[in-house]
Amino acid sequence: MYSLNVRDHFMIAHSFEGEVFGPAQRLHGATYVVDATFRRAELDDDGLVVDIGLASRRLGEVLAAMNYRNLDEEPTFAGRNTSTEFLARHIFDHLARDAREGRLGEGARGIASICVTLRESHVAWGSYEGPV
């Protein structure tokens, strides 16, 4: 299996509902380093997993919609705990749709899976991986 990874980051504020979250129930900030790993069994006709420029640009666009925002105030996330894992899935959904619809280049339609990892710190991170 071939893979290609692109990386970016974003900063948000949010809070959580539920006793399990302890002090994170209060408004707090997070800076995430985001890795998006695209995988496929065979390279496309150009010898690529995915066009690195298109993948980088699209990841940046997805993150820009959340960057420097309080996610508690965003209608997209109303009533949801925007945990690291939840946000990884949210980003994955956008990138997988882009791959299926050709927005990452025609060759990207052959991507088998994507893994999105959000690194909250050097000791804590979460991921979501699924088929495209």
| pLDDT at res. 93 | 98
The whole-number pLDDT of residue 13 equals 98
Q: Report pLDDT for 25.
A: 96
Per CATH, domain 2-131 is 3.30.360.10: no
The pTM (predicted TM-score) of the whole model is 0.96
Q: What are the residue ranges of helices labelled H in the chain? A: 52-64, 84-100
CB atoms within 10 A of CB 123: 6
Predicted pLDDT at 22: 96
Q: What DSSP state is assigned to residue 83?
A: -
56 torsion bin: left (phi>0), alpha (psi -120 to 50), beta (else): alpha
Non-local (6+) Cβ contacts of 92 within 8 A are: 114, 115, 116, 128, 129, 130
Domain range annotation of the chain: 2-131
Which residues does the chain have with pLDDT short of 50?
none
